[in-house]
Structures are given as C-alpha cells and as structure tokens.
C-alpha cells in the first residue's frame, strides 16, 4: 500500500468511526433519538433505505470477492476462460433486482412524504405557531394566545404543532432533529410543517441553510412540557411581570426607552412598537439568549449589549460600547433580568 492510499484509507475509517460514534453518543441534537412521530417516521425510512443498501453492498461485494478468488488465473492456465456475456439469466437478475429495489424505495419514500405533508385535522386541535427566521435568530409567534418570543419554542407534549414557516430576510432552514425536519423558510412565502413531541424535554435545533456570516450561531430550542406546565407558561407570557423592581432597573428602563425600544418590544410595558429585534417579554426566565450563543446572566447580557458585533458578526444589533457607559450597561442588564413571566 502506498503512503497516500494508506492515509486515505485511514481517513475513511476515521470518518466512518466518527459517524458511528456520533450516532451512539447521547447527544440531544440527533435524528437518532426521535422524540415524536414525524422524526420516527423519517428515521424509519432512513433505516429501511440504509438496510436495503447494506444488503446490496454485501451481495455485490461478496459476489465480487467470490469471483476474484474462484476465477483468478491459476498456474499452467492458458488462453481466455469461458465468457458469459449475453447470459440471459444474469441480465435478467441484474436488471430486475435493482428495479424491484428502486420501486420499493420509491413506494416507501412517497408514502412517508404524503403522510408527513398531510396537516393535522382541526379535530386534533393543533397548536399554531408562526416561525420567522431572521439573520440570525428564530422568532416564535402564538397567534392563538397573542404571544411573541424568541430562541426557545415552548410546546405541549402529545399535541400536534402546526408551524407556519416564514423568513424576514433570506433563506433559512428550520430544523429540530429530535422532532423532525427540515423545512426552509423562504422570503415572501409561508411553508407549512407539523411536528409533535411525545416526551417532555428540551430539544436543540439549528438553522440548516447557510444564511450569512453568523449562520452557525442561529440555534434554537424546543421545550416540550406537560399541558399544565405549558398553560402556566402561556399565562405567564400573557401577564408578564415587567415592572422594574430596583432603582438600578428603573434607571435601566429609561436607558432602554431611548436606546433599545425602537427594535425590541416587551409585553406589559409601553414598548410595543419594536419588531426588528427579538421580543423580550419574560426575558429574565429564559435559560439562554442570542439563540443559545450566550447564557442568560448579567455578565453575558452586558457582553452582548456592549459588543454584539464581536459575538455575532454582522448582526443588526449595534455595539453599544461607545454609546453607553459601564454603569448604564449594568442598569440595562438589571432591567432586562428583571423582566419575568407572570
């Protein structure tokens, strides 16, 4: 084996091992741990196709190895061995079997595609969520409840979720692997997708279409909750506790009014006009901010407001490093952290 072939072979083995280990790892952002019927159907189709292909590979590679061993040139052998071209049996076999397999794959794929394209019946009371892809964050609107939020999509377990996918700017792709997907968000168009989570938990997702400089930071979470916990969340978002409680937070609210309210809205406050940036209602209760790129704590909020362009290059969120003093940044962070659900 030459050195080049050996290193290529090693690279191939390495990649296969990485794929195999990736499949085994208990990572939540994985199609191998489906948490609902859509993801399960898609995984089933993938597994069936994979097994068919493994079968084909084993048969073809086996036949090849057998032929190489059985019909190799032997000592003392002379002339060309008997030829089999034009063998009717072989021609029929290697034309017929692939046709049957491709037909089988087609039927399975079309059946799954149609099953997934069928929206849930209204008798199943699907929850409507409008998902808007922005450069680079996800917005979730609940028209049935009048709620707007970002980064984390709360859903009740065991209930069909009907998503209307839209884009505010460029092509994005909505993908929460444990629940199913992916589906593009296209400017000027609404794409429909339904999902369901059959167990509670937090399922991470990711924009799956290259959409600009900070595409890789465009993450999101789906939080699947019991119906009671979901109702509590809805109620809390509808009746948020947005009043500043400390002197510092009150000061932060003033700074917010002049610097931030043009782009951000907050439920339960006079700030209702800003739609360019994420709605910040109940921000204090969120686990992550900036699509999961930052944790929700004072330090990270200040870091973000101070230097957004460094964290998320080319975001429309400006750097406030030259506009706000360190103590003003502290005040804004105190105000934002105090925004709680009711």
Give least dist CB 52 to ligand CUA, A.
32
Residue with smaller CB distance to ligand CUA, 196 or 209:
209
3-state per-residue secondary structure call for the chain? CCHHHHHHHHHHHHHHHHHHHHHHCCCCCCCCCCCCHHHHHHHHHHHHHHHHHHHHHHHHHHHHHHHHHHCCCCCCCCCCCCCCCCCHHHHHHHHHHHHHHHHHHHHHHHHHHHHHHCCCCHHHCCEEEEEEEECCEEEEEECCCCEEEECEEEEECCCCEEEEEEECCCCEEEEECCCEEEEEECECCCEEEEECCCCCEEEEEECCCCCCCCHHHCEEEEEEECHHHHHHHHHHHHCCECCCCCHHHHHHHHHHHHHCCCCCCCCCCCCCCCCCCCCCCCHHHCCEEHHHCEECCHHHHHHHHHHHHHHCCCCCCCCCCCCCCHHHHHHHHHHHHCCECC
Q: Minimum distance from CB of 213 to ligand CUA (Å)?
A: 10
Q: In angstroms, give the least distance from the CB of 173 to ligand CUA.
A: 7
Do the strands 137-142 and 147-150 form a parallel or antiparallel pair, or are they unpaired? antiparallel
CB of 209 to ligand CUA, least distance (A): 5
In the bound state with ligand CUA, the residue whose beta carbon lies nearer, of 132 and 178, is 132
Shortest spacing between CB 131 and ligand CUA, in angstroms: 12
To ligand CUA, the closest distance from the beta carbon of 19 in angstroms equals 23
**Where on the chain is the footprint of ligand CUA (CB under 6 A)?**
133, 136, 172, 207, 209-211, 215, 218
| CA-closest candidate to residue 219, choices 313, 150, 317 | 150
> Measured from the CB atom, is 119 or 187 closer to ligand CUA?
187
Smallest distance from ligand CUA to CB 166, Å: 13
Cβ proximity to ligand CUA: between 220 and 237 the closer is 220
Shorter beta-carbon distance to ligand CUA: residue 42 or 209 = 209
Contact 84, 91 (CB under 8 A): no
When the beta carbons of 244 and 291 are compared against ligand CUA, the nearer one is 291
- Minimum distance between the CB of residue 314 and ligand CUA, rounded to whole angstroms? 12
Nearer to ligand CUA, 249 or 312 (CB): 312
Q: What is the Cα 17 distance to its own chain's centre?
A: 24
Q: Which is nearer to ligand CUA, 221 or 335 (CB)?
A: 221
């Amino acid at each position: 084996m030459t050195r080049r072939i050996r290193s290529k072979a090693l690279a191939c083995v390495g990649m296969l091992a990485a794929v195999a280990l990736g499949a085994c790892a208990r990572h939540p952002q994985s199609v191998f741990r489906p948490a609902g019927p859509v993801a399960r159907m898609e995984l089933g189709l993938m597994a069936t196709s994979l097994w068919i292909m493994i079968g084909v590979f084993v048969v073809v590679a086996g036949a090849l190895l057998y032929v190489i061993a059985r019909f190799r040139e032997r000592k003392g052998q002379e002339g060309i061995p008997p030829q089999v071209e034009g063998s009717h049996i072989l021609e029929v076999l290697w034309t017929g079997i692939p046709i049957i397999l491709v037909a089988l794959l087609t039927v399975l794929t079309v059946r799954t595609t149609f099953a997934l394209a069928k929206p849930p019946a209204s008798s199943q009371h699907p929850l409507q969520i409008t998902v808007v892809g922005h450069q680079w964050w996800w917005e979730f609107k609940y028209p049935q409840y009048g709620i707007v939020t970002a980064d984390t999509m709360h859903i009740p377990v065991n209930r069909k979720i009907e998503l209307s996918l839209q884009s505010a700017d460029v092509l994005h792709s909505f993908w929460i692997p444990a629940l199913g997907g992916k589906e593009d968000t296209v400017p000027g168009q609404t794409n429909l997708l339904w999902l369901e989570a059959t167990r509670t938990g937090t399922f991470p997702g990711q924009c799956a279409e290259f959409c600009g400089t900070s595409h890789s930071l465009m993450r999101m979470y789906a939080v699947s909750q019991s119906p009671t916990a979901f109702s509590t969340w809805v109620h809390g978002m509808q009746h948020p506790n947005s009043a500043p409680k400390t002197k510092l937070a009150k000061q932060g609210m003033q700074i917010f009014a002049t610097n931030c309210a043009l782009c951000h809205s907050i439920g339960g406050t006079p700030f209702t006009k800003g739609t360019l940036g994420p709605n910040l209602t109940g921000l204090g209760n969120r686990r992550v901010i900036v699509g999961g790129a930052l944790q929700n704590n004072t330090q990270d909020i200040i870091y973000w407001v101070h230097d957004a362009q460094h964290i998320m290059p080319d975001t429309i969120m400006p750097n406030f490093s030259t506009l706000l003093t360190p103590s003003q940044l502290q005040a804004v962070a105190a105000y934002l952290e105090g925004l709680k659900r009711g």
